[in-house]
Structure 1
């Protein structure tokens, strides 16, 4: 059996491995406790790690290039890195919300939002301007429910 066959067998076995055993593998491969994420996350990260250990990870030059690209995108702002770009509606989308009998329309921009001809960096700031109280903008505009699900 070649190394490739062994790696492929380990990857295939992940699908049928009980979750407690996946967490055990995590501890062995990452030397940390498994995060409290769903099974699919564990499977995908374990599959990557198995291949990384067998075939090698990214070259240092590739890691440096990716870090440089990340810096260009977010200017080193760690908060922006934690916001998933694919969660935000695409630029041009109009969000409509009625509040106390008045309809409010917000346009999604590449770098923020526009309401009543003014730019805003967040939906929460617009919701606060509309209501006079603090709101999670994503909840106010119906993009997320109170449990945080999109």
Structure 2
């Protein structure tokens, strides 16, 4: 007997859920008021929390190790932790997901660019061109900027 996992459907539904309903889910899942950040932030944090509650979060020893590594990098200065050199660039390790003509594509952000299908790329535009066969602004194609170029 196979069981259906409802979590992927819940995650997919976040994209089309009205913002007031996302904020309601936030209150239910985090037991706090949602932060005044953009919709994409709410979606990503809710997606993580849904998975964390369903499948389990990080092990305590992993959390301790990450905290130690963070302290090594910033000397315990929590203000430095929030800083990123390139504000527009996603954090290394981020997976960008895009569906194009019914096919799902995954691109991973690396320290010096991006990786798609096991190959390194310097730009998202090159990957978007490889997927579509036409010229695209890679940041727009992957939903990182709107059509007017703002993040």
TM-score w.r.t. the length of structure 2 is 0.54
Between the aligned partners of 1:49 and 1:10, the Cα distance in structure 2 is 11
Report what 1:60 is aligned to.
60
Alpha-carbon distance, 1:41 to partner = 0.5
TM-score w.r.t. the length of structure 1 is 0.54
Between the aligned partners of 1:61 and 1:85, the Cα distance in structure 2 is 29
Between the aligned partners of 2:77 and 2:41, the Cα distance in structure 1 is 26
Alpha-carbon distance, 1:6 to partner = 0.8
Report what 2:70 is aligned to.
70
Higher helix share: 1
Alignment RMSD, CA only? Answer: 2.0
Report what 1:31 is aligned to.
31
Between the aligned partners of 2:8 and 2:43, the Cα distance in structure 1 is 14
| Shift in CA distance, 2/27, structure 1 to aligned 2, threshold 3 Å | farther
- 1:86 partner SS: coil
Between the aligned partners of 2:21 and 2:79, the Cα distance in structure 1 is 34
Deviations along 1:24-82, one digit per CA (max 9) or x if unpaired, are: 00000000011111111000000000000000000011101100100110111122223
What are the ranges of 5 or more consecutive residues in structure 2 without an aligned counterpart?
A: 88-149
Shift >3 Å, 4+ stretches: none
Report what 1:6 is aligned to.
6
Alpha-carbon distance, 1:9 to partner = 1.1
- 2:76 partner SS: coil
Between the aligned partners of 2:27 and 2:38, the Cα distance in structure 1 is 16
Report what 1:21 is aligned to.
21
Deviations along 1:70-129, one digit per CA (max 9) or x if unpaired, are: 011011112222322334xxxxxxxxxxxxxxxxxxxxxxxxxxxxxxxxxxxxxxxxxx
